[in-house]
Amino acid sequence: MGSAATGRARIALEHLTDEELLEFRLCDLPVRIEGTHLEERVAQLHEELEERDLRVRPHVWLSEEWFSPDGVPGFAIPFYLAHPRLMRLERKQVLEVEGGTNRECMGIMRHEAGHALDNAFRFRSRRRWRELFGPFSQPYPESYQPEPTSRDYVLHLGAWYAQAHPAEDFAETFAVWLASPPARWRKRYSGWGALEKLEYVNRLAEGVAGVKPLNRRRDVVRPLSQLTMTLREHYRRKREYYAVGLPSNYDRDLKRVFSAEPRGDGGQTAANFLRRVRRELVQAVAEGTGVHQYTIDQILLKMIDRCKLLRLRLSTPEEQAGRRVLVMLTVQTSNVIHMGYHRIAL
Ligand SMILES: [Zn+2]
């Protein structure tokens, strides 16, 4: 396909309604990496590896989500990032576009590059690797229960993702190492247990500088062209994935923030108030916790339902109510994480 064909495909997608788009099968989406902003970001990643004399250039392909398959020195990029219309649909369906900004996209790519390099050089088979990060063969959990105050792990992708699995711990540590010069991470992680892991990654990388890896496979796993489910089905599953395990009882908290007393002048209902500040609240809590906005929004929607049923009203100035709800929603979101957060797709 030349650029003219790509241009036509772009125009076609732009003119479809959400309902029309949702009927598309993933394999029929007219998108590819070539010619998009993704190509530049991959080039930037390759440059960063080049600068450190690392001889791995992870290959990339479009699929459902971000992932690097075990044993393959490359990674998949989610299809929605290949077209602005699909990014808009993603936001509408699950409220958040993972990797939608340049900064976030590069952050995830550096993480995936960590997996790719581990696959290329099989670092995980080294004794010191296993001592520092744990057994690679440990099964992936359905969900994980991070310790937010731990200093044994770097903080990179959010939701304390390094704590999900030894392979993720390595990928996160690698991403921090690749993103900044040693002076920066040494200062940032001074006094942390995670610093030892960073120093180890630094030594590992020096050890393989200029070395061609043995594993130079270029195969792809679950490419878009093989995915026959519709976008509607894809998003139904994705929402299910992020909504599991939500606690259901917020009544006590809600009654502390709002009032059940009927007022002469009516006053504003709590449900209306929450609906108005919904987007802002969800974004603020997502920034603070790294939890997916869709998960947080589900909690808030349940709260709004309860507010309606309990006929709660605002009894304090809006600003004060907003502050209290922000704290409550953050606490409830942390509870979800402690019940075992379900975000291990990377
Ligand atoms: Zn990962």
The secondary structure of 176-239, three-state, reads: HHHHCCHHHHHHHCCCCCHHHHHHHHHHHHHHHCCCCCCCCCCCCCCCHHHCCCEHHHHHHHHH
Ordered alpha helix ranges (H), 52-181:
84-94, 102-121, 127-133, 166-179
pTM for this one? 0.80
Report the pLDDT value the prediction gives residue 9, as an integer from 0 to 100: 52
Report the pLDDT value the prediction gives residue 5, as an integer from 0 to 100: 46
Distance CA 256, CA 254 (A): 5
The tokens of 152 are what?
């044994």
Report the pLDDT value the prediction gives residue 343, as an integer from 0 to 100: 45
One-letter amino acid identity for 320? Q
Ligand 1 centroid from CA 85, angstroms:
26
Report the pLDDT value the prediction gives residue 4, as an integer from 0 to 100: 43
The residue to which tokens 């921090």 are assigned: 176
- Residue 237, classified by CB atoms within 10 Å of its CB into exposed (0-12), middle (13-18) or buried (19+), is exposed
**Quick check: helix, strand or coil at residue 1?**
coil
Instruction: List, in order, residues 6 or more apart from 317 with CB less than 8 Å away.
Output: none
Report the pLDDT value the prediction gives residue 344, as an integer from 0 to 100: 44
Report the pLDDT value the prediction gives residue 173, as an integer from 0 to 100: 97
Ligand 1 centroid from CA 136, angstroms:
12
Ligand 1 centroid from CA 168, angstroms:
5
Report the pLDDT value the prediction gives residue 1, as an integer from 0 to 100: 42
Find, among 332, 161, 334, 143, the residue nearest to 241 by Cα.
Answer: 143
Q: Residue 61 in contact with residue 33, Cβ under 8 Å?
A: yes
In the predicted model, residues of the chain with pLDDT beneath 70 are 1-11, 142-143, 244-248, 263-266, 337-346
Ligand 1 centroid from CA 278, angstroms:
30
Give ∠ CA 256-339-276 in degrees, rounded to 5: 45
Report the pLDDT value the prediction gives residue 246, as an integer from 0 to 100: 61
Would you tell me the crossing angle of helices 293-309 and 318-338 to the nearest 10 degrees? 120
